[in-house]
């Protein structure tokens, strides 16, 4: 595949690369980070320069898991993709709000737009461009709560789409779903979540002392 597709264009100058991972690698989990890192390092070696490398986190496909424990499906490969952001020169667009049940997002415009915003902000000097949504940064525990901090979250708000393809005019909401916490017993429960000072604060009547991944910090 490399010799047939990437190899022939190596002599030519390029500004960077955009990568959309196929779903066939969805079960790679943690090992995907090393594969992706090797791919990027190999391309840079061949071109002899540090190339901007921007990629799409896998979009949604199957319905959301109803179990608060989670961690199945594509959760592990999405986390491996997030970890790739620790490598200089990389950038990620999130597409969990764009996918559909036929795997390939029909809203190709939004995919291209998010890639374009990354390039404009990071490589073409465009000012005042919001090129990323909130990305997990850290979590702190105390007083029966877990407080999650994010990068790219100034003015953090929650909203709902008006329709499956309509991302331009979201409806503001105070409802936050999809967050779960656990205590020492490693039993997971859906959390009550609210936004406080651009962070998400989680709690549950069923979890007296939330712990990281079910263990004490």
Q: What is the DSSP letter of 67?
A: S
Q: Are residues 113 and 144 in the same domain?
A: no
Q: Are residues 49 and 148 in the same domain?
A: no
Q: Are residues 141 and 97 in the same domain?
A: no
Q: Are residues 45 and 12 in the same domain?
A: yes
Three-state DSSP state, 142: strand
Last residue of a domain, one of 76, 99, 132: 132
Domain count, the chain: 2
Q: Are residues 80 and 117 in the same domain?
A: yes
Global pTM value: 0.88
Last residue of a domain, one of 132, 162, 184: 132
Q: Are residues 79 and 16 in the same domain?
A: yes
Provide the token pair at 214.
């079910």
Q: Are residues 160 and 119 in the same domain?
A: no
Domain that holds residue 158: 133-217
Q: Are residues 105 and 38 in the same domain?
A: yes
Q: Are residues 51 and 152 in the same domain?
A: no
In 3D, which of 70, 85, 99, 81 has the Cα closest to residue 28? 81
Q: Write the DSSP assignment of 85-150 as a string of letters.
A: GGSTTEEEE--TTT--TTSS-S-HHHHHHHHHHHHHHHHS--SS------EEEEEEEETTEEEEEE
Can you give the pLDDT at residue 101?
Answer: 66
Q: What angle do CA 108, 150, 84 make, to 5 degrees?
A: 60
Last residue of a domain, one of 100, 132, 164: 132
pLDDT, tens digit only, all 217 positions of the chain: 889 988 999 989 999 999 998 888 888 888 999 999 999 999 999 999 989 999 999 988 777 778 998 888 888 899 999 999 999 999 999 998 887 766 777 888 889 999 999 999 999 999 989 999 999 999 999 999 999 999 999 999 998 887 766 777 888 888 899 999 999 999 999 999 999 999 999 999 999 999 887 544 3
Q: Are residues 60 and 164 in the same domain?
A: no
């Amino acid at each position: 595949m490399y010799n047939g597709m990437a190899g022939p264009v190596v002599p030519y100058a390029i500004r960077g690369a955009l990568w959309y991972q196929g779903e066939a690698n969805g079960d790679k989990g943690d090992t995907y980070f090393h594969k992706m890192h090797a791919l990027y390092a190999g391309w840079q070696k061949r071109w002899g320069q540090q190339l901007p490398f921007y990629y799409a986190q896998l979009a949604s496909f199957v319905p959301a898991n109803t179990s608060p424990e989670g961690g199945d499906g594509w959760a592990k490969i999405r986390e491996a993709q997030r970890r790739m952001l620790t490598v200089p020169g990389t950038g990620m667009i999130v597409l969990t709000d764009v996918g559909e049940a036929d795997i390939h997002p029909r809203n190709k415009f939004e995919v291209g737009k998010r890639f374009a915003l990354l390039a404009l902000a990071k490589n073409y000097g465009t000012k005042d461009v919001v090129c990323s949504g909130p990305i997990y940064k850290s979590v702190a525990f105390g007083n029966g709560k877990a407080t999650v901090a994010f990068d790219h979250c100034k003015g953090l708000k929650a909203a709902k789409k008006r329709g499956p393809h309509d991302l331009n005019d979201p409806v503001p909401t105070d409802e936050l779903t999809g967050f779960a916490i656990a205590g020492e017993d490693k039993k997971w429960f859906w959390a009550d979540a609210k936004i406080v000072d651009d962070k998400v604060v989680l709690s549950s009547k069923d979890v007296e002392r939330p712990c990281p991944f079910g263990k004490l910090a």
